[in-house]
Amino acid sequence: MGRVAKIARRTFLIGSAAIAGGVAFGVYAVKKDPDNPLSADLSDGSATFNPWVLVDSEKMTLITPHGDKGQGVMSSQAALIAEELDIEFGQFETSFGKPSPAYWNRAFAEEGVPFMATDHGFTAETMRSIMGGVVKLLGVQGTGGSTSMADSFDKLRTAGATARETLKLAASQKSGVPVGQLKTANGAVQLPDGTELKYTELASLAATIEPVKDVKLRDESQWRLIGKSMERLDIIDKSTGTLPYGIDISVEGMLHATVCVNPKKGGSLNGFDASEAKQMRGVKDVIEITDGVAVVADNTWRAFNAMRTISFDWGNATIPPEQEEHWATLSDSFKEELLDSTWRDDGDAEEAFKEGASFSAEYRSPYVAHAPLEPLNAIVLVTDDQVEVWTGHQLQRQLQVLVAAITGHEQDQVILHNQFMGGSFGHRLEFEHVKQAAEIANKMRGTPIKMTYSREEDFAHDFPRHISMGRGQGMVKDGKVTAIDLSLAAPSVMASQGGRANLPFPGPDSQLAAGAWNNPYNIDTYRMTAYRAPELAPTSSWRAVGAPAAGFFFDSLLDELIHEAGADPMEERIRLMGHDVSRKVLETAAELSNWGSDLGPNRGRGVAFVESFGVPVAEVVEVTNTDSGIKIDKVWCVCDVGTIVDPINFENLVQGGVVFGLGHAINSEITYSDGKADQSNYHMHEAMRMYQCPDIIVKGLENGTKIRGIGEPPVPPAAPALANAIFAATGTRLREMPFNKFIDFV
Amino acid sequence: MKLTVNGNTEEVNVEPDMPLLWVLRDELGITGVKYGCGIAQCGACTVHVDGVAVRSCQMRVGDLDGEVTTIEGLGSAEKLHIVQEAWIEHQVAQCGYCQSGQIMQAASFLEFNDDPTDEEIDTAMSANLCRCGTYPRIRTAIKTAAKNIREA
Ligand code: FES
Ligand code: FES
């Protein structure tokens, strides 16, 4: 970009998903790789070359440690290994593996540093590398922040390549043919005379050889799998109802449980009467747990039903009970002592605004639930020697720590069988449901307990996306935007989440401001300030975390300024853009959507650009103002992730991200009354259904230099693009989500 | 109480007001049918009763009158139903949790209308939520399945 952003670097220990806390570490500790967890229970004749590849005489198993919550990373991780290992889909099995520090997420560090993703300068890169050391040393394994591909891309290809080269060494020893004359394909080493030695046949010999370390990765031109559409490994099972999710798992002797925790957030349980419940058919026990009650029965429905008969005496909420107080708290938080950070301060804002602003406005973004379709659940079996857990989770090692703290075991005695997840959107970064299952199971040692939330319980305790309030002003001159100044106030989602995860979270929260400070525009004056409001309702990362709120504020404000200036929304964004890759994204969106063409009466078109997780994304939305409300006709989404691993899956995820962003912007929020969430099920928090779903045209570009993930970045621009389109069609400016509070939709 | 599921006769000893969903899942271990909301808002629990799509979370097992088909009975990896083939061709699923219900809904709908308009598809499918947002691909897969049914 044309100018290095000036950023207040109050501390280096700054994070979003990153985890820090004054850890001292030496170069040696960081350089040393954690032990290979596959070596621990390796059977005779089996070979493992690294933590991701296991070969025995029967089969090949690839470990895909990033959790799969629908984004298809089980398949994509396997594809990266298979690419270099020269094995084909259908020739191997996959496993999510055991939690292990070996699976530390090296991309977590990227988002945790206070530098723009477009900043590849010395300081930025050095900080990324230092943060990487911290994450490695702490062995933080996890899935989130759209990091799976960034973390895996080189690492898993290298895992495939080192395994391949070691198998070639084994083949050379066995055949006497020099390694240089050996080739690999289809899960076998090929000798010059055409003989094939299957990897499985070579396993026992390979197990005796020190794995090859230094390998050169293949050039892009030689890729067989990457960049080509693949049939996802789980697609047949997911289309035939045969893929088991956590909620479908059955363990011998298992009982079914459900819980009800004080719906008044943070409140305690003063007492309860379960006399009727205890008499009901199939009910085995009613147990008090932290701030609530569990019913254990022989069937989930019987547990749900019995729970409904229990009367509770709940303590008061520890959060402000009424929603209006939450907004009032934010409104009062724009003050110096609550400054979290001035994330960007290009130009001279004081000078630019000394005679007042040409324009100012306030924006709001509500609490929103994750509500993945599979309600949270976990099976836990506690015995004196160990704890087994079956659930789908994104922070595997932290789960072990928190369960062990309940049952009194060591972390290593907690065995997690990670499962496919029926969605997450951030919900499965949380631990409460697993802790509750562990509490019950710990009281009923020897009996596996499957704890399933009712949908109502899931809504009541869905740590939602944080609320946020933005105040913006700007200057326009000679038909151009010359200054933009956005402040926002919000509670820190990372602090709230980190508190529950037992992960300290020092320093400013980069996610408060994500999507607002980091857009690579070159505006004469560009200031972005975040104030940290006191914690209100406990919140959690919601797909794209900070950017759905802050990106909505920033891009809406920019759009309003462009209209004030009388400029064209697309042309002015392109003019202001200071980053080539991002400019190309905007230009491509303009071209594909035929920007500027006549739409006819009652129609409008809006564009938004938000960069999140290092991915520049532009969306163009077209709407019609019909008699029965706004109809969203068509959306174009253009983004650049550097390298697209699987084009079909990529398109699906982008479309899904757009649907997620639009649907919640239209109609979804969580509000609190008497400290309780008002919304209890999907009819009150619907998001998008098919009849509202527009055509969505996706274009992925590959001009960026680093590979990035696509799970989250399509979400943030959706809401502002829609608001901008509605303004173009109707003249009504929407500054608060959900929009259906102010305008009707078809 | 006896019921027929996927062609098999099953004997269960349950309260008549237990929803079919939980009889299938917890009593018979048939887990392709999913719990999502319990109040007819999501469609994840959709099964067929005599070929017609119903929400199994709303169907008291005591009121059941007809043969039940779940996604497992619709087709299998070895013998895919035409709708499942289309779902695989277009790689519809993300998390996949809603897809049993989506496929059961689509299969029942296409039995009655194998040449649907876009509006008819939207109307038939809008009670099935997909939190991952696979709607564009569901639409395409339904059109492919309809075409394949017409040409079969
Ligand atoms: S579980 Fe039956 S419609 Fe949602
Ligand atoms: S694919 Fe996840 S809910 Fe539909």
3-state secondary structure A7-70: CCCCCCCCECCCCCCCCCCCHHHHHCCCCCHHHHCCCCCCEEEECCEEECCCCEEEECCCCCCC
According to the 3-state scheme, what is the secondary structure of A193-226? CCCEEEHHHHHHHHCCCCCCCCCCCCCHHHCCCC
Please give the pLDDT value at position A460: 98
Bridge-partner residues for A509, per DSSP?
Answer: A15
Please give the pLDDT value at position A123: 72
Number of domains in chain A: 3
Q: Which of residues 64-83 of A touch B (CB under 8 A)?
A: 69-72
Do A512 and A609 fall into the same domain? yes
Please give the pLDDT value at position A31: 52
Do A420 and A533 fall into the same domain? no
Token pair 């972005």: residue: A528
Tens-place pLDDT, residues A366-422: 999 999 999 999 999 999 999 999 999 999 999 999 999 999 999 999 999 999 999
Contact (CB<8Å) B76/A250: no
The arrangement of secondary structure in B2-74, i.e. its CATH architecture, is Roll (3.10)
Bridge-based pairing state of the strands A603-612 and A615-626: antiparallel
The alpha carbon of B42 and the centre of ligand 1 are apart by a number of angstroms equal to: 5
Residues of chain A with pLDDT under 70: 1-32, 109-114, 126-127, 129-135, 137-138
Do A570 and A652 fall into the same domain? yes
Contact status of B121 with chain A (Cβ, < 8 Å): yes
Order of all β-strands in the sheet with A183-185: A183-185, A188-190, A196-198
Question: Which residue type occupies A204?
Answer: S
Please give the pLDDT value at position A112: 62
Residue where one domain finishes, among candidates A239, A260, A275:
A239
Quick check: A587 and A557 in contact, CB under 8 A?
no
The alpha carbon of A143 and the centre of ligand 2 are apart by a number of angstroms equal to: 18
Shortest Cα distance, chain B CAs vs residue A424, angstroms: 9
Do A382 and A443 fall into the same domain? yes
- Quote the radius of gyration of chain B (alpha carbons, Å): 15
The total of other beta-carbon atoms located within 10 Å of residue A673's CB is: 12
Listed in sequence order, the DSSP H helices in A248-310 are 275-279, 300-308
Is A473 within a domain? yes
Contact (CB<8Å) B135/A70: no
Please give the pLDDT value at position A613: 93
Element (H, E) at A729: helix A718-730
- Pick from B20, B81, B97, B102 the residue to mutate for testing the A interface (most A CBs within 10 Å): B97
Distances (CA, A) of A596 to A46, A480, A620, A722, B53: 63, 18, 12, 17, 45
Distance CA(A99)–CA(A398), nearest Å, equals 9
Short-list A622, A666, A657, A662, CA closest to A639: A657
A71 by Cβ neighbours in 10 Å (0-12 / 13-18 / 19+) ranks as: buried
Do A418 and A499 fall into the same domain? no
As a whole-number percent, the residues of chain B with pLDDT over 90 amount to 99
Please give the pLDDT value at position A264: 98
Please give the pLDDT value at position A627: 96
Residue of B nearest to A648 (CA): B91
Shortest Cα distance, chain B CAs vs residue A575, angstroms: 33
Residue of B nearest to A251 (CA): B29
Contact status of A287 with chain B (Cβ, < 8 Å): no
B41 lines ligand 1 (CB under 6 A): yes
Most informative mutation of B20, B26, B42, B102 for ligand 1 (most atoms within 8 A of CB): B42
Distance CA(A285)–CA(A303), nearest Å, equals 10
Q: Which ligand is nearest to the CA of A660?
A: 2
Short-list A530, A451, A454, A519, CA closest to A491: A530
Do A182 and A286 fall into the same domain? no
- Look up the ipTM and state it: 0.98
Tokens for A642, please give them.
């550097």
Do A625 and A703 fall into the same domain? yes
Bridge-partner residues for A611, per DSSP?
Answer: A616
Is A656 within a domain? yes
Order of all β-strands in the sheet with A93-95: A47-50, A53-55, A60-63, A93-95
Do A434 and A516 fall into the same domain? no
Q: Which of residues 660-689 of A touch B (CB under 8 A)?
A: 660, 663, 681-683, 686-689
Token pair 């085995």: residue: A284
Please give the pLDDT value at position A27: 40
What residues contact residue A712 under an 8 Å CB cut-off, 6+ apart? A145, A146, A543, A544, A545, A547, A612, A613, A657
Is A192 strand, coil or helix?
Answer: coil
Quick check: A18 and A510 in contact, CB under 8 A?
no
What residues contact residue A627 under an 8 Å CB cut-off, 6+ apart? none
Residue where one domain finishes, among candidates A452, A486, A519:
A452
Contact status of B134 with chain A (Cβ, < 8 Å): yes
Short-list A212, A155, A151, CA closest to A179: A212
Contact status of B128 with chain A (Cβ, < 8 Å): yes
Bridge-based pairing state of the strands B2-5 and B46-49: unpaired
Do A404 and A553 fall into the same domain? no
The alpha carbon of A248 and the centre of ligand 1 are apart by a number of angstroms equal to: 16
Is A351 within a domain? yes
CATH number at residue A567: 3.30.365.10
Binning chain B into helix, strand and coil, the percentages to the nearest 5 are 40, 15, 45
Bridge-based pairing state of the strands A93-95 and A60-63: parallel
Do A572 and A593 fall into the same domain? yes
B131 lines ligand 1 (CB under 6 A): no
Do A439 and A561 fall into the same domain? no
Tokens for A639, please give them.
């983004």
Distance CA(B56)–CA(A318), nearest Å, equals 39
Short-list B84, B136, B35, CA closest to A690: B136
Distances (CA, A) of A76 to A88, A150, A243, A279, A637: 13, 12, 18, 50, 22
Distance CA(A247)–CA(A664), nearest Å, equals 26
Tens-place pLDDT, residues A459-495: 999 999 999 999 999 999 999 999 999 999 999 999 9
The arrangement of secondary structure in B82-151, i.e. its CATH architecture, is Orthogonal Bundle (1.10)
Tokens for B44, please give them.
């994840």
List, as one string, the DSSP characters of B43-77: -TTEEEETTEEEETTT-BGGG--S-EE-HHHH--S
Is A347 within a domain? yes
CA–CA–CA angle A475, A477, A483 (5° rounding):
30
**Using a CB-CB distance cutoff of 8 angstroms, which residues of chain B are in contact with residue A655?**
133-137
Do A300 and A364 fall into the same domain? no
Question: Which residue type occupies A154?
Answer: D
The alpha carbon of A478 and the centre of ligand 1 are apart by a number of angstroms equal to: 57
Is A604 within a domain? yes
Tokens for A247, please give them.
């909620």
Contact (CB<8Å) A652/B94: yes
Report if pTM > 0.90: yes
B37 lines ligand 1 (CB under 6 A): yes
Q: Give nearest CA residue, ligand 2 atom 4.
A: B130
Residue where one domain finishes, among candidates A239, A269, A286:
A239
Ligand 2 interacting residues, C-beta cut-off 6 A? A 70, 373, 423; B 93-99, 130-132, 134
Distance CA(A421)–CA(B95), nearest Å, equals 7
Contact (CB<8Å) B96/A234: yes
- As a dihedral over the C-alpha atoms of residue A577, residue A600, residue A698, residue A367, rounded to 10 degrees, the angle is 80
Question: Which residue type occupies A192?
Answer: P
Distance CA(A200)–CA(A204), nearest Å, equals 8
Which residue of A240, A681, A686 is in closest CB contact with B84?
Answer: A240
DSSP class of A682:
G
Distance CA(B42)–CA(A557), nearest Å, equals 36
Distance CA(A256)–CA(A465), nearest Å, equals 30
Order of all β-strands in the sheet with A695-701: A603-612, A615-626, A629-640, A695-701
Q: Spell A81-117 as b/e; 16+ CB within 10 A means b.
A: bbbbbbbeeebbebebbbbbbbbbbbbbbbbbbbbbb
What spatial distance separates the first Cα and last Cα of chain A, rounded to whole Å?
42
What residues contact residue A669 under an 8 Å CB cut-off, 6+ apart? A366, A367, A368, A679, A685, A737, A738
Domain extent for A224: 33-105+140-239
Is A115 within a domain? no
Same fold, B2-74 and B82-151: no
Angle of helix B135-151 versus helix A647-667 axis, rounded to 10? 120
* Chains A, B: CB pairs < 8 Å: 185
A580 by Cβ neighbours in 10 Å (0-12 / 13-18 / 19+) ranks as: middle
Q: What phi and psi, each to the nearest 5 degrees, are found at residue A277?
A: -55, -40
Q: Which of residues 46-65 of B touch A (CB under 8 A)?
A: none
